[in-house]
Amino acid sequence: MTEKTREKMIGGAALLISQRGVQGTSFSEVLELTDTPRGSIYHHFPGGKDELVAEAIALLGSVVSERIRNTEADRPEQVAEAFSKGWREFVEATDLKSVCVMSAVTVGAGADSEELLPAVAGAFASWRDALADAYTRTGLGKSDGRRLALTSVAALEGAMIVARAEQSMEPFDAVQQDLVTLARAAGDRK
């Protein structure tokens, strides 16, 4: 079950990174959480920690953009609401102890491994493009769609951080409501 071990490690790393940051996540913790053998790390990830983190980025990047693409919506505000809802569920499921993996990697990227930033940027871009698509499909103009997509991503990344710090969902509620307002207003202008 080679793939199983590898996948488990990646998933576990993603979860830990979102809760403790990249530098706060050690191999030992990943092994313990995922119940995987220490001897396998450098077999599965010859590139070491950076490679593991890169896989976690890729995993979350594709999961989320897939999810965006599968969103069914007739109106722009439904796109905003669905996107926000996905993150909200994640944050609540982890007891307000998580931020987005992308934020965690971005923050820790200055120390070493600046090479991970492009991977994060790629994930952000894929989310933004998928969101922009969804917005324009529900009637927004191209430039409104792209701008709203960018704002949606940024605002929710930030909401997760503020919510984690304050241990409160209020920032989330505020952002979600305002994103819906923006989307609706943009839709009405058409």
Partner DNA sequence: GTCTATACGAAGATAGAC
Partner DNA sequence: GTCTATCTTCGTATAGAC
The CA distance from 49 to 141, in Å, is 42
CB burial of residue 153 (10 Å; 0-12, 13-18, 19+): buried
DSSP helix/strand/coil, 107:
helix
Residue with Cβ nearer a second copy (82 or 107):
107
Q: For a second copy, which residue of 6, 8, 75, 147 counts as binding (CB under 8 A)?
A: 147
Q: Does 158 bind a second copy (CB under 8 A)?
A: yes
Q: Does 110 bind DNA (CB under 7 A)?
A: no
Q: For a second copy, which residue of 47, 66, 170, 190 counts as binding (CB under 8 A)?
A: 170
**Per-residue CA distances from 140 to 44, 50, 64, 86, 186 (Å):** 44, 39, 22, 22, 7
Phi/psi for 131 (5° steps) reads -65, -45
Q: Which residues of this chain interact with a second copy, rule CB under 8 A?
A: 19-25, 97, 99, 102-104, 106-112, 117, 120-121, 124-125, 146-148, 150-151, 153-159, 161-162, 164-167, 170-171, 174-175, 177-178, 181-182, 185
Q: Which residues of this chain interact with DNA, rule CB under 7 A?
A: 1-2, 5, 25-29, 37-44, 48-50
